[in-house]
Structure 1
């Protein structure tokens, strides 16, 4: 059975290929960017670990600046593989963070997300895919990717569920900062 409960102490984020040159071709790209920025802010507020990948950084450029500005001391891992876990540098970074749960957002749902999540699951990670912070060039490819991710064993979630699951309780100063992200 899938573990549907996030544990802030065991979880980290993975931002996959949120590069403006790719993002502009993505269906519903404003929603994908907005929710990915919220996830970066959650990561910042809760001081959580993260990994950032960039598909062919030299040719396609950096991840979106509105995401990166919330990720303290980020390193963008340039990759040529579609499955991020096939890149030795990325895999070393993931292992060094020593987290069991990976919260994934980025593009494209049916290519780099699908192949990376498949690799993470094969390596024993619990994967939480943030469906409203993922995208593909067409909605049908996005939906197909989500369907396959669910069948593989990833938890299909959304930005608000991730936020409230990581918050855990209401009434704290931290919760108030998090809640302000979705008002």
Structure 2
């Protein structure tokens, strides 16, 4: 039997503008947060093997507040981001993020995007990453907008532009690619742990 290998070799996670002040305004915001927590926990429990870098942004932090605390970004017991930058541009592909991203070696990556809003910041971030030659996955259970009707329109456009619209569970298994690799047991356990919230997130958000 051949030695198992990972299917995605250079993954990265982009977390777009998941700030506290957006909580009341965004359609099913808690489901987006739950999916992001799932992705971060997957990275944490397999960091010695997967080593997936995390990039996060806030939109005008002074006015719109900090990233939601339950994500634990850059906290002592959370995940250290490669960049956690503030911006006024809608796209995350700003100089601070670009610099941190390129410091990893410059190779093309498989970037998975979660956050808000689907039709604005998520869309423009995805378009910029595609333009740079990266493969981009947008999680249908990990993005939303103030108006829920915007979401399927944005996802349809991004699919047409060349992004892969998928789900958190599908991406995690694609990242592994083989049940024989060391991280499989940890990810399988995580999928089971988040089974209920994943189902709720798919029912609420993944109507594409």
* Interval containing the TM-score (normalised by the shorter chain): 0.7 to 0.9
Select which of 65, 68, 77 maps to 2:85: 77
Query: Paired residue for 1:23?
Result: 23
Deviation at 1:58, TM superposition (A): 2.0
User: How far apart are the structure 2 equivalents of 1:121 and 1:74?
Assistant: 20
Is 2:61 aligned against 1:57? yes
Asked if the contact 1:101/1:128 (under 8 Å) is kept, the reply is yes
Asked if the contact 1:127/1:154 (under 8 Å) is kept, the reply is yes
Query: Paired residue for 1:125?
Result: 134
Deviation at 1:15, TM superposition (A): 0.7
Which consecutive residues of structure 2, in runs of 5 or more, have no partner in the other structure? 1-5, 193-208
Tell me the alpha carbon deviations over residues 134-180 of structure 1, each in whole angstroms, 9 at most, x when there is no partner: 01112211111111111110000101101111233336663222222
Query: Paired residue for 1:88?
Result: 95
Deviation at 1:129, TM superposition (A): 0.7
User: How far apart are the structure 2 equivalents of 1:154 and 1:134?
Assistant: 14
Query: Paired residue for 2:116?
Result: 107
Deviation at 1:9, TM superposition (A): 2.6
User: How far apart are the structure 2 equivalents of 1:8 and 1:46?
Assistant: 14
TM-score (norm 1): 0.88
Distance 1:73 1:49, change over 3 A: closer
User: How far apart are the structure 2 equivalents of 1:8 and 1:44?
Assistant: 17
TM-score (norm 2): 0.78
Asked if the contact 1:110/1:142 (under 8 Å) is kept, the reply is yes
Alignment of 1:152-163 (within 5 A): 152-163=161-172
| 3-state SS in 2 of match to 1:58 | helix
Asked if the contact 1:11/1:101 (under 8 Å) is kept, the reply is yes
Deviation at 1:33, TM superposition (A): 1.1
| 3-state SS in 1 of match to 2:14 | strand
Point out the structure with max Rg over C-alpha: 2
Deviation at 1:123, TM superposition (A): 1.2
Deviation at 1:128, TM superposition (A): 0.7
Which consecutive residues of structure 1, in runs of 5 or more, have no partner in the other structure? 1-5
Is 2:40 aligned against 1:40? yes
Q: Output the aligned Cα RMSD.
A: 1.9
Q: Which runs of 4+ in 1 moved over 3 A?
A: none
